[in-house]
Amino acid sequence: MTTVGKILVVFIMGFSLVLSAISTMVFTTSKNWKDATQAERKKVGDLTAQLRDANARTEAAQKDLEAQKAAFDAQTKQLNDKIASVEAQNVLAQNQITTARSQVAEAQQSAKVALEEAEARRNETLQLREQKSAVEKQGNEFKLHTADLNDKIRELERALETATKNNSDLRERVAKFSSLLRSQGLSDDISQIKGLESPPPVVGQVKRVDATNRKLEASIGSNDGLVPGHELYLFRTSPRPEYIGKAEVLSVDPNQAVMQVIGNTYQGKKIQEGDIVSSTIKPRL
């Protein structure tokens, strides 16, 4: 029930009480009923007029109430529309916030990946700088080494030129010496000339001795560095160590040599197979 309705109810109840009071007074008094009736009619007329005024005011209040209610409904609808709009905006804002959070998370992940890539590239750049520095250092060393090699090449070229010239001079001198040796009836074979040099350090055994006990075959040869003209010592180790003599190489094969005893053997001893032939073991006489 609205406020105006409550007012009307109270007003009607009050009016009913007034009428009841009037009726009671009419029945309880014995005045002039005509005057009283007229008076009461006047009162009734006044009350009726008051009632009409009250009804008019009530209708006006009802209309005002309805107008206010319409305005209230309009305002309520407007507020509900605003609330719906705000709620829709809130939903949209929430969605935007969710989207923004997702974008922020993706951006953070992208930033993290970008930072990791940047760190990796920075490390790679540092490595490349170190490698570049090492390469530059190697390049400088290579340039210095190249310069040294060029200097050595120039020195070797000069040395080669000198050696070529010396070789040419030596060839001429060798040719002259060879011609001189042949003119004197001597051999210019280099192997025979080498025989005049000291023999290499060798140790072998006597494999065979001829009947004259002057020539023998030894188990060492050109593979061991022997050439005709080398002189070796002869020894015996059994039954006791003893010196036998000295022999000269006459001819050589890769694995054997033919030798001839120089002079006489020590104390006329006979050479036997198995005796030692050596250039390193010298006699103690």
pLDDT digits (tens, 9 = 90+) for 25-76: 766 665 556 676 777 778 778 878 877 887 788 788 788 878 888 888 888 8
Domain range list for the chain: 3-85, 195-278
Average pLDDT over residues 250-278: 94
pLDDT digits (tens, 9 = 90+) for 125-167: 888 888 888 888 888 888 888 888 888 888 888 888 888 888 8
**Segment (H or E) for 259:** strand 257-261
Average pLDDT over residues 242-256: 94
Can you spell out the DSSP letters for 163-228?
HHHHHHHHHHHHHHHHHHHHHTT----HHHHHTTSPPPS-EEEEEEE-TTSSEEEES--GGGT--T
* Rounded alpha-carbon distances, angstroms, from residue 135 to 142, 144, 150: 10, 14, 21
Checking if the pLDDT of 92 tops 60, the result is: yes
Average pLDDT over residues 235-260: 93
Q: Does domain 195-278 have CATH number 2.40.10.340?
A: yes
Checking if the pLDDT of 232 tops 90, the result is: yes
Q: Which of 155, 128, 127, 259 is nearest to 202 (CA)?
A: 259
The reported pLDDT for the residue numbered 34 is 65
Distance between CA 120 and CA 131 in Å, rounded? 16
Q: Which of 277, 261, 283, 272 is nearest to 238 (CA)?
A: 272
High-pLDDT (> 90) share of the chain, %: 25
pLDDT digits (tens, 9 = 90+) for 171-191: 777 777 667 666 755 555 655
